[in-house]
A and B are shown apart, each in its own frame.
Chain A
Amino acid sequence: MTTSDWPLWEVFVRSRRGLSHTHAGSLHAPDAEMALRNARDLYTRRNEGVSLWVVPATAITASSPDEKDPFFEPSADKPYRHPTFYEIPEGVQHL
């Protein structure tokens, strides 16, 4: 099997209304319309979604593994950024 001629697409699935689209995987397809249909067959056949996005993989700019430390390490020692320093009032259910 050769899919080398076909571009790669990244697939995002929204599992239900109100949630955001989440990356599900990738696939090959000749164009966006076919990519959407292939995504439907590959990633939503077990009732996983209500909405699909496909994005050309080339359109995604990713952070570089080399920049991991300057990008992500500074936030590791700042626990005060997490909302854990107050008591949750009784009776609040959906926090």
Chain B
Amino acid sequence: MTTSLNTAALALGDDALVLSHRLGEWAGHAPVLEEEVALANIALDLLGQARVLLSLVGDEDELAFLREERAFRNTQLVEQPNGDFAHTIARQLYFSTYQRLLYGRLATADPRPGDEGREALRGLAAKAVKEVAYHQDHAEQWTLRLGDGTPESHDRMRTACDALWRFTGELFQPVEGVDVDWRELEADWLTSVSAVLDRATLPLPEGPRTTAWSAGAGRQGVHTESFGRMLAEMQHLHRSHPGASW
């Protein structure tokens, strides 16, 4: 495996792993039982993707449970706390739209038989693109209902979309080993998200889509405050019982 494919698998794998964990935090806390199952299903899809991707890089357990915060390459968007249900849905809308467009491109990339790592990425994308199309539909359905629902649900959805807007620029920072047209990806993402927000009677958030980080962002290992606490919870069992098995 070449270094650039390591970089790609780690970036996409960490996105999936971290968002999966965040969604898993809803278990036992979701507003209704049916929605809890829906979020858990999405989390499990993402965990499956993360396992494939991290296994391309090395031992999946070591990578998930024994890396320090600075070694994670996920975007800051996916590590943002669940907040209220509207925040979870806004995060989901932004991310799953990105993932669907990205995996759709990776899945239809020209085959290059000699290049095993790249073929593995293409194989994963082909399978995952159907999963993430459903994730996006789920987020879209809820965005429409919350945005165009009661005054309170509208306000909360709007607040959530505004709050997470500044983390969406990072999604389109080119990742080494991911061979797509990032500018075109970003333009398509903006078109798709704008259309959903418009139908949901929500204004497109204003303001910059990135924060001016001097040291980079999630892809460079720079994470936001709550990520450390999330990792502590995610990793403590494995670290307390190294090498334990069922």
Residues of A within 8 A of B (CB): 1-3, 6, 27-31, 33-34, 37-38, 41-42, 45
Which residues from chain A contact B215 at a C-beta distance below 8 Å?
none
Instruction: Pick from A1, A37, A45: contact of B31, CB below 8 A.
Output: A1
Consensus secondary structure, chain B interface: helix
- A29 and B34 within 8 A (CB): yes
- The interface bits of chain B over 29-40 (1 if a CB of A lies within 8 angstroms of the residue's CB, else 0) are 011111101100
Shortest A90–chain B CB gap in Å is 48
Q: Complex formed: what's the CA distance from A80 to B129 in Å?
A: 56
Any chain A CB within 8 A of the CB of B145?
Answer: yes
Q: Chain A contacts of B33 at CB under 8 A?
A: 1, 3, 28
Bound-state CA distance A6–B32 (Å) is 10
Contacting residue for B141 out of A3, A6, A34, A45, CB 8 A: A34
Bound CA span A27–B34, Å: 7
Whether B138 sits at the interface, judged by CB under 8 Å, is yes
Return chain B residues, CB-CB under 8 Å to A45.
41
CB of B88 to closest CB in A, whole Å: 16
Instruction: Give bound CA distance, A6 to B35, whole Å.
Output: 12
> CB-nearest residue of chain A relative to B149?
A30
What is the minimal beta-carbon distance from A9 to any residue of chain B, in angstroms? 10
User: Does B138 lie within 8 Å of A37, measured CB to CB?
Assistant: yes
With A37-B38, A37-B138 given, name 14 new contacts (CB 8 A).
A1-B30, A1-B31, A2-B32, A28-B32, A34-B145, A37-B137, A37-B141, A38-B34, A38-B37, A38-B38, A41-B37, A41-B38, A42-B34, A45-B41
A41 contacts B141, CB within 8 Å? no
Q: How far is the CA of A27 from the CA of B50 in the complex (A)?
A: 31
- Chain B 37-51 interface residues, beta-carbon cutoff 8 Å to A: 37-38, 41
